[in-house]
Amino acid sequence: MGTQLECCDLCVNPGGAVLWQSSFSRVVRVDDPNYPGFCRVILNDHVREMTDLDARRRAELMQVVFAVESVVRELFSPDKINLASFGNMVPHVHWHIIPRWQDDRHFPEPVWGSVRRDGALPRPVVSNAVLAEALAGMLRNCEEGGRS
């Protein structure tokens, strides 16, 4: 493995609790008690930008992102979903899928913004197993980059 890949955290670590994976990408849950259901979709290959992927691979990755958004909406009933792809700290294509509530700590700021209120309010409790099962059902057609 080259030096660049050895330095990339998403090339050497899963990036969270793995809920689903294929040869192309993986879905991980971020351990953040203030934002249950916060997931990342991580491309398995070390690629810096979405436009470095051909159109078919971009569409496949976004199919996974939208499937995760659908499952998070169904299981956590947030007021809003934030989708973000930065890569400033880790230049490796990955998407954040973040459930938001109007009374969460940062709303309407991004979760990386200023805290506007303290205290974690009760949110739906969904185990990794339940979340993984729901994702597996939604992502059945995405495994190994396949489509039906």
Which CATH number is 113's domain given? 3.30.428.10
Q: Are 51 and 61 in contact (CB under 8 A)?
A: no
Which residues, listed in sequence order, are joined to residue 20 by a DSSP beta bridge?
A: 27
Residue whose token pair is 């199919």: 63
Model confidence at 121: pLDDT above 90 = no
Q: Is 12 contained in some domain? A: yes
In this structure, the chain runs to a length of: 148
pLDDT (0 to 100) of residue 144: 47
Collapsing DSSP to helix, strand or coil, 118 comes out as coil
Q: Is 148 contained in some domain? A: no
Task: Return the sign of the alpha-carbon dihedral for residues 49, 53, 55, 60.
Answer: negative
pLDDT (0 to 100) of residue 140: 85
Q: Model confidence at 7, in pLDDT bands (50, 70, 90)?
A: confident
Q: Is 124 contained in some domain? A: yes
Q: Is 34 contained in some domain? A: yes
Q: Model confidence at 6, in pLDDT bands (50, 70, 90)?
A: low
pLDDT (0 to 100) of residue 1: 38
pTM of the model: 0.88
What is the distance between the alpha carbons of residues 5 and 90, in angstroms, rounded to a whole number? 11
Q: What is the domain range of residue 100? A: 3-143
What is the distance between the alpha carbons of residues 132 and 134, in angstroms, rounded to a whole number? 5
Q: Which of 119, 120, 84, 80 is nearest to 102 (CA)?
A: 80
pLDDT digits (tens, 9 = 90+) for 53-108: 999 999 999 999 999 999 999 999 999 999 999 988 889 999 999 999 999 999 99
Specify the number of domains making up the chain.
1
pLDDT digits (tens, 9 = 90+) for 9-44: 999 999 999 999 999 999 999 999 899 999 999 999
Q: What is the mean pLDDT of residues 115-128?
A: 86
What is the distance between the alpha carbons of residues 74 and 41, in angstroms, rounded to a whole number? 18
pLDDT (0 to 100) of residue 143: 60
87 or 128: which leads in pLDDT: 128
